[in-house]
Amino acid sequence: MSKGRIEPLPLPPLSEVLDSADEVRPSEVRDALLALNGDSAFGSRETGGEKMALEMWEAHRQLGSVKFAEKYLQADTSRGQLEQIAMAAAGPEGLAYGEAFVRGFSELLSLGCISPALMRRDANEDAWSAGPFGAAAKSSQKAVESIEAREWHTLLADLDNDTDSEREDSDVFQYKYWRWQGHLVRYAEGGLTTKDAPAILLVHGFGASADQWHKCMKELGPTHRVYAIDLLGFGHSEKPYVTYSQYMWENVVRDFALEVVRTPLFLAGNSIGGYTALSAAAHLKAYCLGLVLCNSQFPNLKPCTLNL
């Protein structure tokens, strides 16, 4: 090193850095991440960018929802993922109102690959040129409705972030947000902050939200790192125009465990949340350390030790 100057050191290749990170991960974490990377949910995109987003937007305007879905939303049933198989069985005609747009563009919008202002402008042009009941105008209108819903939930998330400290139990846990396939998902996090603290994820029942776990989070906090999630379509999470199924909620819980908790954990679920937790646990295998079912009715399930 010359006087007054620091010589730059060579940086290792990215592949070596990633390999080093993998070496310190527990084996069950590596296995779970490999499963996640090889098993994308229906509608998630492995490629993107501005060029693709604009091409897809023009196709959505010109082709309509069904033909757009046939071109860009083909379900991949080769990996055996249940949501993909269910969507393939329903076919493009079985998608909910506006679902083709939501599945195709949510991630692209969240990454800024296409402008909502551009979509609104094109929707207005379609309405003027072809009339409000034309095929192009209907497709564009679905897009605008989805965009407005996304923006409303963004404002709600901002409000939650600004006022979270005003809650009486804000010292017990904090509300935060995470994106799943471009959608805002609210969750609560509290308890111990040390890395070696056991983690537990609480999954609410139908029509409920993470709010139902307030008292449990307070009780578990002194001994655990505690999470509770608003499933997509419930609580303060987004409510996009999609086909809601047990398979989709299972994917949300699984991905949350891998992307947010990021450590082997216990899963607990109430009512249908018990089914969701059980399904996610079966997928996560050794990544899930244990399972608690609260008020979940499984006619043929007897009390037993669950070996994952």
Q: Over the stretch 112-140, which tens digit does the pLDDT of each residue have?
A: 999 999 999 988 888 777 665 666 667 78
CATH of 167-294, one of 3.30.1330.40, 1.10.443.10, 3.40.50.1820, 3.40.50.300: 3.40.50.1820
CA–CA dist 163, 160 (Å, integer): 5
Residues 6+ apart with CB under 8 A from 133: none
Number of Cβ within 10 Å of residue 103's Cβ equals: 27
How far CA 272 is from CA of 54, 256, 291, 303, in Å, comes to 39, 18, 14, 18
Question: So where are the chain's domains?
Answer: 50-159, 167-294
Q: What is the mean pLDDT of residues 151-180?
A: 95
pTM for the predicted model, two decimal places? 0.85
CA distances from 9 to 1, 14, 294 (A): 11, 15, 55
pLDDT, tens digit, 9 for 90 and up, residues 57-93: 999 988 888 899 999 998 888 877 888 888 999 899 9
Cα–Cα distance, 68 to 142 (Å, whole number)? 13
